[in-house]
């Protein structure tokens, strides 16, 4: 049976009360569902102050000299200024920990997993809490805020404690990692220059050199000797820095701590109620039209049956 626009409009008006009831029920169900999904979580917050550090060389470039005494043929003073020291020092980058770099390191998921690995071994569900750990840097105050939330009342506090305990261990390990890399490179360079010195020594002792060749080789020998002595001096300083406890220099201090339950909503009530009202309205319109079609079909069938019986009589 075909209905025109007027029929649709009349069907809606005829059942406006039903439409209103369906919309109201949809809104009530949506709101009730939102209330149920509201939950209480527990929050632990700590503010940590830290002093950034920048490890720099304290070697005085112009004061260092090397002594050359084992080559009699070298015709100049045996004490010369080490011109290579300044050049080589510029290549050495000792570890530095600005607040920005500390933030980059401790905000990484890798750091959080490392800090909590012992706890996760004992209780695997803690691994699900990693995304609930928030670290916000406060550059103007040389501090950062550690905030952890969880549905488990005990987790935020113990997670924060584990994070704070691991920060100095992690930063010290990063310092050692960088220093070890520097020492390894220095050792490689010293071995290389040591071989070069031996090669240039042999060449300088040769009797078949022209004056120009001798001066060139002598210059190379001096540069290698200076480089070797410079690397030795830098290596000594790097060894010293490797023993420095940077945690003491950073002066990490907890200046605020708090924990409390907070009520949060995982749904947007306004959006859900609006959506429920719209869907309820559409559903009620379709339902009203369906009832109208069914009603007219029943009326038509009843009319046809009546005519049949009248003819039969």
Q: Nearest to residue 218, comparing CAs of 209, 228, 208?
A: 209
CATH number at residue 253: 3.30.1890
- Whether residue 217 sits in one domain with residue 99: yes
- Whether residue 229 sits in one domain with residue 113: yes
73 or 79: which leads in pLDDT: 79
User: What is the reported pTM?
Assistant: 0.65
Q: What is the mean pLDDT of the chain?
A: 80
- Whether residue 150 sits in one domain with residue 101: yes
Average pLDDT over residues 294-307: 61
- Whether residue 287 sits in one domain with residue 168: no
- Whether residue 277 sits in one domain with residue 259: no
φ, ψ of residue 95 in degrees (nearest 5) = -60, 140
- Whether residue 129 sits in one domain with residue 242: yes
Residue 312 belongs to some domain of the structure: no
What distance in Å separates the CA atoms of residue 164 and residue 257, rounded to the nearest whole number?
12
- Weakest-pLDDT range from 28-37, 91-100, 155-164: 28-37
Residue 84 belongs to some domain of the structure: yes
What pLDDT score was predicted for residue 46? Answer: 93
Average pLDDT over residues 179-200: 94
Q: What is the DSSP letter of 153?
A: T
Structural domain range at position 295: 5-38+269-307
226 or 184: which leads in pLDDT: 184
What pLDDT score was predicted for residue 26? Answer: 77
What distance in Å separates the CA atoms of residue 98 and residue 212, rounded to the nearest whole number?
51
- Number of domain units in the chain: 2
3-state helix, strand, coil in the chain (%, to 5): 65, 15, 20
What pLDDT score was predicted for residue 310? Answer: 44
Average pLDDT over residues 288-294: 73
């Amino acid at each position: 049976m075909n209905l025109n626009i007027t029929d649709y409009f009349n069907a809606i008006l005829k059942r406006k009360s039903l439409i209103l009831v369906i919309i109201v029920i949809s809104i009530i169900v949506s709101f009730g569902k939102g209330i149920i999904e509201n939950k209480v979580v527990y929050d632990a917050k700590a503010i940590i102050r830290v002093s950034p550090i920048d490890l720099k060389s304290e070697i005085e470039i112009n004061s260092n000299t090397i002594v050359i005494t084992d080559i009699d043929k070298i015709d100049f003073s045996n004490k010369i200024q080490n011109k290579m020291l300044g050049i080589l020092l510029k290549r050495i980058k000792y570890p530095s920990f600005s607040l920005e770099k500390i933030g980059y390191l401790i905000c990484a998921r890798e750091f959080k997993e490392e800090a909590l690995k012992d706890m996760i071994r004992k209780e695997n569900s803690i691994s699900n809490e990693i995304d609930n750990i928030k670290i916000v840097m406060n550059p103007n105050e040389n501090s950062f805020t550690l905030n952890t939330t969880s549905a488990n009342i005990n987790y935020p506090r113990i997670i924060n404690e584990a994070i704070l305990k691991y920060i100095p261990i992690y930063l010290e390990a990063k310092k050692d990692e960088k220093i070890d890399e520097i020492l390894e490179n220095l050792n490689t360079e010293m071995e290389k220059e040591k071989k070069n010195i031996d090669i240039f020594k042999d060449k300088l002792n040769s009797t078949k050199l022209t004056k120009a060749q001798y001066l060139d080789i002598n210059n190379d020998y001096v540069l290698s000797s200076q480089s070797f002595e410079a690397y030795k001096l830098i290596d000594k300083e790097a060894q010293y820095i490797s023993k420095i406890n940077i945690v003491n220099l950073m002066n990490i201090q907890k200046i605020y701590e708090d924990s409390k339950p907070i009520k949060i909503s995982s749904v947007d009530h306004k959006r859900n109620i609006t959506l429920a009202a719209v869907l309820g309205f559409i559903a009620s319109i379709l339902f009203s039209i369906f009832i109208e079609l069914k009603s007219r079909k029943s009326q038509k069938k009843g009319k046809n049956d009546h005519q049949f019986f009248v003819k039969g009589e």
